[in-house]
Amino acid sequence: MTYFLIFVSVAVSVSGVVYAISSMFASDTNAVEARLENLTKKRSASTSILETGSILTSPLDDAPGLLEAFVGRFFNLRRTLQNAGMGETEPIKFLTIAGVMGGVVALITLVVSPIKSLFLVGFVFGLALPFLYLWFMVRRRLKKFAAQLPDSLDLIGQALRAGQSLPAGIHLVSQQAEDPLGPEFARCYEEQNLGVPLEEALQKLADRIDNLDLRFFVTSVLLQRQTGGDLAEILDKISHLIRERFTIQGQIQALTGEGRLSGVVLLALPPVLFVTMLRLNYDYIMMLFREPLGNQMLAVGIVLQFFGAAMIKKIITIKV
């Protein structure tokens, strides 16, 4: 079994390297841009928009592969890459990088560690590293998006009071706001400018960005366009509500600081104690791996560690 896993990790690593080298020499010209150039015989004036994630830059035959379809049963990898600001990265390329990382970490574990059974643990850890980085990037980008949203809603409200239309206000935000909010609103404006109904473009914006306040904004716009009312006043109330929520969240973070610190200490104590005992008494710790009862105790300890982390997370997480 060990030799089979070694073969799999080496094969994944080699195939990933070959794929990366072939990607370096691949043409960067987009298929749709090439068709547009053949039709118009000239560059579009909005090249900067096309290079930052326009709907025109998505290939017409961009169907998910088998591996992407399998991963899509658990979560939408393409949407997650877009939320992380890595929309230009193809899902298959990201999965290849994850496989290469898993193979490399597994080989390092096999060479360094005297415990051969940790080979599979190293593979899983290396495979999870790109996904952990992706999760971190998504959280950081969505947090920045949420911080930009109140000022952007105020800007749209001011544009409406000045006599401009809602699409013009969205276009103004796309020009004034920085990434990630600016490009997302620019894509929304571009979609409706190309003939997509504004309601549908806003709904797609809410589907791309997992943000509750953005859904409030989209829902209020859809209701206002059906029933009427002062949209500028509605946007002012939504932005005020978002700022009040940020204030409450800051207070919650301060009140739960002790619980979060206690959780970090409790979760870090078993691994630190394991490494310390490994250095002080190697044979004593090896009984966990050599004896069947030790393996069972180790498995139960790991399961309880994850269970405790989930419970602490449940206690300190307060939704506003």
pLDDT in tens, 179-217: 889 999 999 999 998 988 989 999 999 888 888 889 989
85 and 192, same structural domain? no
249 and 271, same structural domain? no
Q: How far apart are CA 152 and CA 213, in angstroms?
A: 12
Instruction: Give pLDDT, residue 66.
Output: 59
Instruction: Give pLDDT, residue 117.
Output: 67
242 and 275, same structural domain? no
Q: How far apart are CA 102 and CA 108, in angstroms?
A: 10
55: DSSP letter: G
234 and 104, same structural domain? no
> Mean pLDDT, consecutive 10-residue segments, the chain of 320 residues?
50 48 44 47 38 45 54 68 80 87 86 72 86 90 91 92 91 90 91 90 89 90 86 91 88 84 87 87 83 84 86 80
Q: How far apart are CA 264 and CA 266, in angstroms?
A: 6
Q: Is the dihedral of CA 267, 272, 277, 278 positive or negative?
A: positive
108 and 158, same structural domain? no
Where is the domain boundary, 253, 276, 308?
253
Instruction: Give pLDDT, residue 290.
Output: 82
Total tally of structural domains belonging to the chain: 3
Q: Give the H or E element holding residue 193.
A: helix 181-193
9 and 123, same structural domain? yes
Instruction: Give pLDDT, residue 114.
Output: 67
Instruction: Give pLDDT, residue 35.
Output: 47
Instruction: Give pLDDT, residue 46.
Output: 39
The residue segments making up the domain with residue 197 are 142-253
Where is the domain boundary, 219, 253, 287?
253
92 and 23, same structural domain? yes
134 and 152, same structural domain? no
211 and 177, same structural domain? yes
